[in-house]
């Protein structure tokens, strides 16, 4: 029987636990022995690897984060630690790996594959949705739902108190979370790294709205924009003349109960990844494009992703 392992690398997302659950079940159904690698590539180096069965994944589908932990491993960038990792896998006769992570994690594993021939299949998993060549990354929907709940709650206090709120979302240099949240929460302003902006362009309009009786503003800004979020808040206070509060949503966006969509996507991504390994496919990343799954090579997925033009055109 072949041995197959799964590892989470980089920022965790809500949806990893449903993926782990299906991985164990699907591997066993296909006559494979499933293994967990704990704490990302760090666990690969430290031999934190165990053989698992159904009992390890019972009851985890509702939980955010990942029960096997994750890390951003500095050591895995060095050849000598990758050699140790390879020896650890050999000792357990593990010949196939599934990795949940971002493109940086995939690149690390690709180097490992080229050096040591351990086949892997990657599942794009990041709330940033910034991986080139896939329309969807696991965890994005759960993060958007957390942001939606937060904005809805902030709106209640903003309207009661006649305040402006500047809400900062994560995403590194990708504005996807901010843009989708803006379009789906009806906020007044959205600033993302992909779009140049000049706050002066909004001054007249917002002041006029205040004179006409507007009680509050909601602004959604992505963490990657050129100004810091407090500067946007100062602009509201000084130029628009409204008391303003800042709310940095932070890591709350990465946690919480996985949404139905992410549970289903976890199931589908894992099925495609394990199938690809069983069939010995060369391409090693499962991508979701135009509502269907396909496999792509590492070279095809490393690149700067641009935001969907169809969404961007809604940003006035």
How would you classify the pairing of strands 33-37 and 49-51? antiparallel
Complex with ligand F6P: residue 43 or 171, whichever CB lies closer? 171
- Phi then psi dihedrals of residue 11, to 5 deg: -60, 130
d(CA 179, CA 194): 10
Complex with ligand F6P: residue 34 or 258, whichever CB lies closer? 258
| Residue 64 Cβ vs ligand F6P, minimum distance, rounded to whole Å | 13
Complex with ligand F6P: residue 32 or 170, whichever CB lies closer? 170
- Whether residue 11 contacts residue 124, with contact meaning beta carbons closer than 8 Å, is answered with no
152 is catalytic: no
d(CA 26, CA 130): 28
- Choosing from 103, 110, 128, 262, the catalytic residue is 128
- Whether residue 174 contacts residue 137, with contact meaning beta carbons closer than 8 Å, is answered with no
| Residue 21 Cβ vs ligand F6P, minimum distance, rounded to whole Å | 22
d(CA 225, CA 231): 11
Contact residues for ligand F6P (CB under 6 A)?
A: 11, 126-128, 170-172, 223, 254
| Residue 33 Cβ vs ligand F6P, minimum distance, rounded to whole Å | 31
| Residue 172 Cβ vs ligand F6P, minimum distance, rounded to whole Å | 4
| Residue 242 Cβ vs ligand F6P, minimum distance, rounded to whole Å | 29
Q: What is the CA radius of gyration of the chain?
A: 22
- Whether residue 150 contacts residue 252, with contact meaning beta carbons closer than 8 Å, is answered with yes
Complex with ligand F6P: residue 173 or 300, whichever CB lies closer? 173
Q: Residue 197: helix, strand or coil by DSSP? A: coil
| Residue 162 Cβ vs ligand F6P, minimum distance, rounded to whole Å | 31
Complex with ligand F6P: residue 157 or 306, whichever CB lies closer? 306
Complex with ligand F6P: residue 172 or 245, whichever CB lies closer? 172
- Tokens for 171, please give them: 């995403």
CA-nearest of 80, 117, 97 to 9 is: 97
d(CA 97, CA 121): 6
Angstrom CA distances, 49 to 37, 41, 44, 85, 227, stand at 4, 11, 7, 11, 43
CB-based burial label for 313 (10 Å; 0-12, 13-18, 19+): exposed
How would you classify the pairing of strands 244-248 and 164-169? parallel
Catalytic residue ranges: 128
């Amino acid at each position: 029987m072949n041995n197959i392992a799964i590892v989470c690398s980089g920022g965790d997302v809500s949806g990893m636990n449903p993926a782990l659950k299906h991985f164990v079940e699907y591997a066993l159904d296909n006559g494979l022995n499933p293994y967990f690698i704990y704490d990302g590539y760090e666990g690969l180096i430290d031999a934190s690897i165990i053989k698992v069965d159904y009992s390890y994944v019972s009851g985890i589908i509702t939980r955010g984060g990942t029960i096997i932990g994750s890390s951003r491993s500095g050591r895995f960038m060095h050849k000598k630690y990758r050699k140790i990792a390879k020896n650890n896998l050999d000792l357990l006769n593990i010949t196939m790996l599934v990795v949940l992570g971002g493109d940086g994690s995939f690149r690390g594993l690709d180097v490992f594959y080229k050096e040591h021939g351990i086949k892997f299949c990657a599942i794009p998993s990041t709330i940033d949705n910034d991986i080139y060549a896939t329309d969807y990354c696991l965890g994005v929907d759960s993060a958007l739902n957390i942001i939606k709940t937060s904005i809805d709650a902030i709106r209640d206090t903003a309207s009661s108190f006649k305040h402006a709120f500047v809400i900062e979302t994560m995403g590194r240099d990708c504005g996807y979370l901010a843009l989708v949240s803006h379009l789906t929460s009806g906020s007044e302003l959205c600033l993302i790294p992909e779009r140049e902006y000049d706050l002066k362009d909004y001054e007249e309009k917002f002041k006029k709205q205040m004179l006409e009786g507007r009680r509050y503003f909601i602004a959604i800004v992505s963490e990657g924009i050129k100004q810091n979020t407090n500067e946007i808040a100062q602009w509201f206070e000084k130029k628009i003349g409204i008391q303003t509060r800042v709310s940095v949503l932070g890591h709350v966006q990465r946690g919480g109960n996985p949404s139905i969509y992410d549970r289903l996507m976890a199931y589908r991504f894992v099925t495609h990844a394990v199938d690809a390994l069983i069939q010995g496919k060369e391409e090693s990343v499962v991508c979701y494009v135009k509502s269907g799954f396909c496999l792509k090579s590492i070279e095809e997925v490393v690149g700067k992703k641009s935001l969907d033009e169809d969404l961007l055109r809604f940003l006035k």
